[in-house]
């Protein structure tokens, strides 16, 4: 394994790299310009939790594509292991893994992304990088080996990012089922006295709702 490097952070450009996958050679992030992509690492092929995750990702692959998002798997297994594992999933679980899986046997990609756990230099941690169409990392999530990921949460996050960018708003907790405002979204807080007056006027006109001038919200299509 190579010497570990500091992992990239939210807001950084995803590091440029050429990777070998079950679908051939891919240039990251260039080959995905104009699309979101979810790069998710797993500890190893032919392991129980990882198998349930890959099944779940594939089951929802159509939903990801509807959100202009591609999936990319990764572990430090070789490509033949990925292919055999995908074959096993298809034969035993009825799902064909359509997205590429990066073969990173030397750990170069994993080390570049900070995915090698200090307690086990032979396996990647369970992590997710969510990257936007401009190649910018928008979210990073880590999970322990014993806890499988919630794939539906990634779809919720992508929908939230899409709405936030289109409407210039923020997304509340548990959206679209927030305990306070349901599926409504948060209007950015005022940063001047003039904006406070504008917020209050918009509330009076029924254009937005609020608990106070710093916590305003509205319905979006």
- Residue 161: which of 52, 37, 53, 42 has the closest Cα? 37
Average pLDDT over residues 69-96: 97
Hey, do 17-149 and 168-218 end up sharing a CATH topology, with the first three levels equal?
no
Average pLDDT, the chain: 94
- Report whether CATH 3.40.30.10 matches the domain 17-149: yes
Q: What is the pLDDT of residue 36?
A: 98
Could you tell me which residues come within 8 angstroms of residue 59 by beta carbon, excluding any fewer than 6 positions away?
95, 151
Q: What is the pLDDT of residue 7?
A: 80
Could you tell me which residues come within 8 angstroms of residue 151 by beta carbon, excluding any fewer than 6 positions away?
53, 56, 57, 59, 60
Domain residue ranges of the chain, discontinuous segments joined by +: 17-149, 168-218
pLDDT in tens, 14-25: 999 999 999 999
Distance CA 17, CA 68 (A): 22
pLDDT in tens, 168-209: 999 999 999 999 999 999 999 899 999 999 999 999 999 999
- Residue 174: which of 160, 189, 194, 191 has the closest Cα? 160
- Residues acting as catalytic residues: 50
* CATH number belonging to the domain at 168-218, selected among 3.40.50.2300, 3.40.250.10, 3.30.1020.10, 1.10.287.610: 3.30.1020.10
């Amino acid at each position: 394994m190579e010497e570990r490097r500091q992992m990239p952070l939210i807001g950084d450009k995803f590091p440029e790299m050429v990777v070998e996958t079950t679908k051939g050679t891919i240039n990251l992030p260039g080959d995905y310009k104009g699309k979101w992509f979810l790069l998710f690492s797993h500890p190893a092929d032919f392991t129980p939790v990882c198998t349930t995750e890959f099944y779940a990702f594939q089951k929802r692959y159509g939903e990801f594509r509807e959100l202009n998002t591609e999936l990319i798997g990764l572990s430090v297994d070789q490509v033949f292991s990925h292919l055999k594992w995908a074959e096993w999933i298809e034969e035993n679980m009825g799902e064909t893994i359509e997205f590429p899986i990066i073969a990173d046997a030397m750990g170069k990609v994993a080390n570049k992304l900070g995915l090698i756990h200090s307690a086990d230099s032979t396996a990647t941690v369970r992590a997710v990088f969510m990257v936007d169409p401009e190649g910018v990392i928008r979210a990073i999530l880590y999970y322990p080996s014993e806890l499988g990921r919630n794939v539906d949460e990634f779809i919720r996050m992508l929908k939230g990012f899409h709405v936030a960018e289109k409407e210039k708003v923020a997304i509340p907790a548990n959206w679209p089922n927030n305990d306070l405002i349901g599926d409504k979204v948060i209007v950015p807080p005022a940063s001047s006295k003039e904006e406070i007056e504008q917020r209050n006027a918009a509330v009076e006109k029924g254009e937005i709702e609020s608990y106070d001038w710093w916590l305003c919200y509205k319905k979006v299509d």
